[in-house]
Amino acid sequence: MVNAIVGANWGDEGKGKITDMMAKEADIIVRFQGGANAGHTIVNDYGKFALHTLPSGVFYSHTTSIIGNGVALNIPVLFEEIQSIVDRGVPKPKILVSDRAQIVMSYHILFDQYEEERLGGKSFGSTKSGIAPFYSDKYAKIGFQVSELFEEESLKEKVGRICETKNIMLEHLYHKPLLDPEELMKELKGYREMVEPYVCDTSAYLWQAIQEGKNILLEGQLGSLKDPDHGIYPMVTSSSTLAAYGAIGAGVPPYEIKKIITVCKAYSSSVGAGAFVSEIFGEDADELRRRGGDGGEYGATTGRPRRMGWFDAVASKYGCRIQGTTDVAFTVLDVLGYLDEIPVCVGYEIDGEVTTEFPATTKLEKAKPVLEVLPGWNCDIRGIRNYGDLPENCRNYVEFVEKHIGFPITMISNGPGRDDIIYRSKG
């Protein structure tokens, strides 16, 4: 069986924890898109970790972790991550890398930095991880596939062509140092040595695993609202964040994805620029940011303070719908225990009219939140394992959210640890 774990919103929903938890019953965990531009924070028996490329199931010795063909593969970052968890006592994970994955080059990171610098105040809030230039090259068909590392003559010829193209931009647009073909070849040879033991046809591997009835998890990065087709364009990422893309980015048949667990926070947060209707500011935002997450709401990759907001039922309903959600995992509910009253955004007012449908960006930027205020529960709910044991106002909040998003909340996270979870039956 293949299950997908994806985000409903802007990212930072808690997918890493849910993947880590569900990996206990999984055989294989696959990263199918994105790169080292976003992080998954995980708290388990080994400690607290921020992963960027490794799938969140690497902490179980019985699992195989796969870097799928849809991933923007930064090879040095991958191997630094492996070493960093091994150094902290985690058994070395079994990892396979798709021979069709494409490589993030050092110049992709430089081009990312140069473009943000050029745009100045109109920048996209990039993590400067090279992701946009990487995907641009991939679809312009001038990227490097892992398999190409092992064909030196054709690789050398391609490096020469790419340097010619890139150096025109470096000289005339960015006014930066030019690329050296010999240095690039040296970089690629280094990557070959690092990745060679792990390379295989992961799509064939997964096909065989499906025939054998193995449990496979597809782990997404970021969330619905960062999808380049369905998100808050242009303030989006460069690869599809939807479960549907999991079939492509992992190389499995789409009909094999049986369950789509969409992770949704009990409040809202976002890193980076873009429309954010339920955003709050000042002391309210500072307090929620300080108490939020598993040590404050700061980007796992950048360390930037996350933008904070109340739960947005409009955005979350849309995010769940576009994912094809079967189950909602509702995270960080425990964080809200300090509030006497909890506002929820239940609609958007746009040009004097109220809607509960999430609009395209041009209208979204004009939207004002329509808030409904619920009573808080004013206590710590960590340690509770049965839904019926939650305070009445807490259950009312969950059920209010469920009604407004229209998808079943079957899991509730009430703490950072892998066992801080409450299961609820559908309907």
Which CB contacts under 8 angstroms, 24+ apart, belong to 19-22? 19/55, 19/56, 19/57, 19/217, 19/219, 20/44, 20/56, 20/57, 20/59, 20/418, 21/418, 21/419, 21/421, 22/217, 22/261
Q: Is the dihedral of CA 67, 69, 74, 79 positive or negative?
A: positive
From the list 27, 40, 108, 112, the catalytic residue is: 40
- φ/ψ of 127, rounded to 5, equals -80, -5
Residues 6+ apart with CB under 8 A from 21: 418, 419, 421
Do residues 310 and 278 make contact, with C-beta atoms less than 8 angstroms apart? yes
Element housing 109 (H / E): helix 106-119
**In whole angstroms, what is the distance from residue 238 CA to residue 136 CA?**
8
- φ/ψ of 282, rounded to 5, equals 65, -145
**In whole angstroms, what is the distance from residue 148 CA to residue 56 CA?**
28
Neighbours of 147 (CB within 10 A): 14
Closest C-alpha among 238, 221, 225 to residue 140: 238
Do residues 76 and 105 make contact, with C-beta atoms less than 8 angstroms apart? no
Do residues 411 and 325 make contact, with C-beta atoms less than 8 angstroms apart? no
Helix (H, G, I), strand (E, B) or coil at 325: coil
From the list 12, 20, 312, 420, the catalytic residue is: 12
**In whole angstroms, what is the distance from residue 301 CA to residue 288 CA?**
20
Asked if 40 is an active-site residue, the reply is yes
- φ/ψ of 144, rounded to 5, equals -110, 120
Helix (H, G, I), strand (E, B) or coil at 31: strand
For residue 234, is the peptide bond before it cis, meaning its omega torsion is within 30 degrees of 0?
yes
Neighbours of 155 (CB within 10 A): 18
The residues assigned a catalytic role are 12, 40
